[in-house]
Amino acid sequence: MKPRLIEAAGSLQSELIESIDNAKHDLYLETMSIDSTGDMKPLIRSLRKAALRGVNTQLVFDRYSFFDCLVKQGLDSTLQLREDLTNLKKDGVQIRPIGDIRLNPFSGRHHIKTYVADDLVFTGGGANLTHDTFATKDFMLRYENRPLSQQMPGWLLKTLGSRRDSFLVVDDDNTFIIDGGRKGASHIYDTAVRIAKDADTILVSSKMIPDGELATIAQTRPVSTFLYNRRELVKTFNWLALEMNAAMMGEELPLNSYIGNLQLHAKFCATLTSNGLSNVLTGSHNFNRLGVDFGTRELVLYSKDREVFELIDAFAQSVTAERRKCTPV
């Protein structure tokens, strides 16, 4: 099961549209956020055409999308999104909005992103179906794998609304993990801590600042690299969360090696032991305790495949200052 890494600001949009346009049987798209402006317009058009030609088309998204669209783009774009979703439904797309907007709009969110088009699967990354996704430093792993494409939608649908962790074992080296979203509990974060304890080299990338036990362990390793956003790359709530996180960590704040100019949205924890064994967790989890405490549903690929590690490592190297041991600042 060998993937390709497709960057969000690279060819992801065109490859998603091509896969939708070429689909003959099934389309399944599951995301946290969706909008229908800018670079998302042609993708929405492709979904409508697919449904009209008889492709079984399903779209799952978190109702947080409406809040996200309102904050980022205003009322007109939010109303346009509702109209476009109504039209998709009229054309035959099975629309499945999930989650409720609560007093704390970030609590209990569905943060999963996976897109399936016949035998193609885009997963293991953090890219939403929003126009600004295609201007971020993020990626999806693209698999051309019929067994996986047949298993993934049914597994994801089965877990909707559940607060239980779930696992899809693909082979000896690759397992998909869903955090059920129980507040204060994360199997994914606990797995990151476990693999970090055995590692000599650790790479951690997040939209937010990786923190907690994982960050503490990583800073004691011979080689550790942290990638997260600089303050000038994020806005509104993300800026506030970054500021609060940095203040709370104080002297334990890890050195940031991210040198990119795009907002970082890629999320992974990749480790290497002294005898060359690799472990990768890559997907939607920010490796930050705030999301865990809020009870966020997450999806990652847990891979022991060295080729997956090398893909992630190459991505990290492309946006990383000289690799060196991280020390508190």
115 close to 30: Cβ distance less than 8 angstroms = yes
Tokens standing for residue 316: 């990290």
Nearest-CA neighbor of 30 among 1, 68, 51, 61? Answer: 61
Asked if residue 299 is part of any domain, the answer here is: yes
Nearest-CA neighbor of 267 among 126, 112, 106, 111? Answer: 126
Q: Which domain holds residue 32?
A: 4-159
- Asked which of 108, 124, 159 is the last residue of a domain, the reply is 159
Specify the 3-state DSSP secondary structure of 127: coil
271 Cβ neighbours under 8 A, 6+ residues apart: 195, 196, 198, 199, 201, 202, 203, 278, 279, 280
134 close to 9: Cβ distance less than 8 angstroms = yes
Asked if residue 176 is part of any domain, the answer here is: yes
Query: Does residue 223 sit in the same domain as residue 244?
Result: yes
Asked if residue 270 is part of any domain, the answer here is: yes
Query: Does residue 26 sit in the same domain as residue 155?
Result: yes
Indicate the number of domains in the chain: 2
What does the pLDDT look like over 253-295, one tens digit per residue? 999 999 999 999 999 999 999 999 999 999 999 999 989 999 9
Strand partners, 285: none
Q: What is the pLDDT of residue 328?
A: 31
Strand partners, 264: 137
β-bridge pairing 136-137 and 114-117: unpaired
Task: Render the burial of 35-51: b for 16+ CB within 10 Å, e for the rest.
Answer: bbbebbeebbebbbebb
Q: What is the pLDDT of residue 324?
A: 42
Phi, psi of 295 (to 5 degrees): 75, 55
- Asked which of 116, 132, 159 is the last residue of a domain, the reply is 159
User: pTM for the full model?
Assistant: 0.94
Interatomic CA distance for residues 28 and 119, integer angstroms = 11
209 close to 228: Cβ distance less than 8 angstroms = yes
Asked if residue 312 is part of any domain, the answer here is: yes
320 close to 240: Cβ distance less than 8 angstroms = no
17 close to 42: Cβ distance less than 8 angstroms = yes
Query: Does residue 134 sit in the same domain as residue 175?
Result: no
Q: What is the pLDDT of residue 316?
A: 94
Query: Does residue 9 sit in the same domain as residue 154?
Result: yes
Q: How many CA atoms lie within 13 A of 116 on its CB side?
A: 25
323 Cβ neighbours under 8 A, 6+ residues apart: 223, 225, 257, 317
Asked if residue 30 is part of any domain, the answer here is: yes
Asked if residue 300 is part of any domain, the answer here is: yes
Query: Does residue 195 sit in the same domain as residue 309?
Result: yes
Query: Does residue 183 sit in the same domain as residue 312?
Result: yes
3 close to 142: Cβ distance less than 8 angstroms = yes
Asked if residue 263 is part of any domain, the answer here is: yes
- Domain containing residue 183: CATH number: 3.30.870.10
Specify the amino acid at residue 292. V
Q: What is the pLDDT of residue 220?
A: 92
226 close to 254: Cβ distance less than 8 angstroms = yes
Q: What is the pLDDT of residue 322?
A: 52
Query: Does residue 178 sit in the same domain as residue 311?
Result: yes
250 close to 256: Cβ distance less than 8 angstroms = no
Phi, psi of 196 (to 5 degrees): -65, -35
Interatomic CA distance for residues 47 and 60, integer angstroms = 13
pLDDT in tens, the chain (329 residues): 789 999 999 999 999 999 999 999 999 999 999 999 999 999 999 999 999 999 999 999 999 999 999 999 999 999 999 999 999 999 999 999 999 888 888 889 999 999 999 999 999 999 999 999 999 999 999 999 999 999 999 999 999 989 999 999 999 999 999 999 999 999 999 999 999 999 999 999 999 999 999 999 999 998 899 999 999 999 888 888 888 888 888 888 999 999 999 999 999 999 999 999 999 999 999 999 989 999 999 999 999 999 999 999 999 999 986 544 333 33
Query: Does residue 113 sit in the same domain as residue 184?
Result: no
β-bridge pairing 136-137 and 263-264: parallel
Query: Does residue 222 sit in the same domain as residue 281?
Result: yes
Query: Does residue 42 sit in the same domain as residue 151?
Result: yes
Angle (nearest 5°) at CA 193 between 190 and 196:
150
Query: Does residue 122 sit in the same domain as residue 249?
Result: no
Asked if residue 323 is part of any domain, the answer here is: no
| Long-range interactions of 187-194: CB distance < 8 A, separation 24+ | 188/281, 188/283, 188/285, 188/298, 188/300, 189/214, 189/285, 189/287, 189/289, 189/292, 191/281, 191/302, 192/269, 192/281, 192/285, 192/287, 193/217
Query: Does residue 272 sit in the same domain as residue 254?
Result: yes
DSSP class of 129: B
- Asked which of 107, 124, 159 is the last residue of a domain, the reply is 159
